[in-house]
Amino acid sequence: MKIDAIYLRELNLPLLRPFQTSFGTTKDRRVVLAEIHSEGLIGWGECTAGEHPHFSEESVDSCWNVIVDELGPTLAASRVENGGQVPRIFGLVRGNRMAKATLENAIWDLEAQMKDMSLSRLLGGVRDVIPCGVSIGIQTSIAELIALIEREVAAGYQRIKLKCKPGWDVEVFERVRHRFPAITLSCDANSAYRLKDADHLATFDGFDLLMVEQPLWYDDFYYHSMLQKRLDTAICLDESIRNRRDALAAIEMESCRIINIKLGRVGGFSEAVAVHNAAYERGVPVWCGGMLESGIGRAHNIALSSLANFSLPGDVSASSRYWAEDIIEPEVTVSAQGEISISDAPGRGFEVRTDLVDRLTVRKTEIRAHALVN
């Protein structure tokens, strides 16, 4: 594919409700989008980095700089033919996986359009519908949380994930379980605990949780493996899994029994499929995580979730839970059964509302090829 232009832009997108995790609160999203023009088509990619380097080392600004200074010019000068080649094109740049995914995913989006097939099929997806869950942030009161859960259960979501941290855990689980004895429930600590909290974490076993997500350090396998031996509840790793090798190490060490796959965290579709396949071959189920994405990242998460081993409900939910207006058409909707349908339209399956994107844009730059050195 001949790349005619790469544009990078930043949008300001206010969340309908603030989202609180153990590491902080997000009110307004700064969404970076890449737009790659080729052969009369446009591939879109969304950067999933946070406003601050709290979930991972990357942030909106680090991604912007790495894309503008390194990845964008390298990609523009390359002879890329498909998404699968992009990791090698970016091979000299270490880390910066969310930045890389922004561009790689736009190339996959383009490739699917050029091949006149859905992104889901191009990736090897086999599902017509995907099971959906929701991630509910830390609230100011348990009563408030219970009201939110009521609404999401009534909407049909198949799994409720509660963000937790010391002081917002067992009492919350107790009250929620009392009110909802039969729902599928999980929790996500975003690394808020330490191994000395193992006895406390073991009391989570009393609440029939589907999993406890990333209880310990964001970069750890070893201590999660020690902890897993002391829990009946499955550990799910999110932050720790950066690539296929990490997934293999975590599975071999029994650091987790479930893996959360996020496109940005692993560096794009190529590595996400590799993590999926490695887990599938070893009987470890996966699900698709979310990073408060706008419609473009959401569409990409939906396509990824159609792969066979995404057997657990993901954190991929309706646009209307996040935004007054999403930047895609149609918006993402979830059925009363808690499912999203996979589109068989070519590409991502959702049109980008370019007028709205332009209106929300706070900065935009064109990235040009620079001469390839070495």
Cα angle vertex 121, ends 246, 275, to 5°? 5
Contact 317, 290 (CB under 8 A): yes
- 229 catalytically annotated: no
Phi/psi of residue 13, each to 5°? Answer: -130, 100
Residues in the chain: 374
Answer with the entry of ligand OSB, Mg ion, none that 290 interacts with (C-beta below 5 to 8 A by kind).
Answer: ligand OSB
Whether 162 and 186 have beta carbons less than 8 Å apart is answered as: yes
Between residues 103 and 288, which has the closer beta carbon with respect to ligand OSB? 288
Q: Which long-range contacts (CB under 8 A, 24 or more apart) does 208-212 make?
A: 208/177, 209/173, 209/185, 209/233, 210/159, 210/184, 210/185, 210/186, 210/234, 210/312, 211/186, 211/187, 211/235, 211/236, 211/257, 211/258, 212/186, 212/187, 212/188, 212/236
Number of chain positions touching ligand OSB (CB under 6 A): 11
Residues of this chain, 209-248, that bind Mg ion according to CB under 5 A: 213, 238
What mask, x for binding ligand OSB by CB under 6 A, covers residues 228 to 267? ----------x-----------------------------
Q: Select from 66-74, 82-90, 283-291, 303-311 the region that touches ligand OSB (CB under 6 A).
A: 283-291
d(CA 2, CA 274): 27
Q: Does 326 participate in binding ligand OSB (rule CB under 6 A)?
A: no
Contacting ligand OSB (CB under 6 A), which of 20, 42, 55, 66? Answer: 55
Residue 69 CB, shortest distance to ligand OSB, in Å, is 25
Whichever of 103 and 136 has its CB closer to ligand OSB, that residue is: 136
Which residue is associated with the tokens 């979930």?
55
Distance CA 311, CA 145 (A): 27
Minimum gap (Å) between residue 260 Cβ and ligand OSB: 7
Q: Is 56 in the site for ligand OSB (CB under 6 A)?
A: no
Measured from the Cβ of residue 320, the count of other Cβ atoms closer than 10 Å reads: 15
Contact between 46 and ligand OSB per CB under 6 A: no
**C-alpha to C-alpha distance for 340 and 303, rounded to whole angstroms:** 10
Query: How many residues of this chain interact with Mg ion, rule: CB under 5 A?
Result: 3
113 vs 298, which CB is nearer to ligand OSB?
298
Nearer to ligand OSB, 111 or 271 (CB): 271
Catalytic residue among 100, 161, 163, 165: 163
How far apart (Å, rounded) are the C-alpha atoms in residues 70 and 264? 17
Residue 58 binds to Mg ion (criterion: CB under 5 A):
no
* Partner whose footprint covers residue 357, from ligand OSB, Mg ion, none (CB < 5 to 8 Å by kind): none
For position 185 contacting ligand OSB by CB under 6 A, the verdict is: no
Cα dist from 321 to 13, 187, 329, whole Å? 13, 19, 16
- Name the residue nearer to ligand OSB (CB basis): 35 or 46: 46
Q: Decide whether 131 or 289 has the Cβ nearer to ligand OSB.
A: 289
Q: Which residue is nearest to ligand OSB (CB)?
A: 290
Distance CA 197, CA 220 (A): 15
The C-alpha angle with vertex 141 and arms to 137 and 142, in degrees rounded to 5, equals 80
Q: Is 163 a catalytic residue?
A: yes
Residue numbers of the site for Mg ion (CB under 5 A)? 188, 213, 238
Residue numbers of the site for ligand OSB (CB under 6 A)? 21, 55, 135, 188, 190, 238, 289-292, 315
Residues known to be catalytic: 163, 262
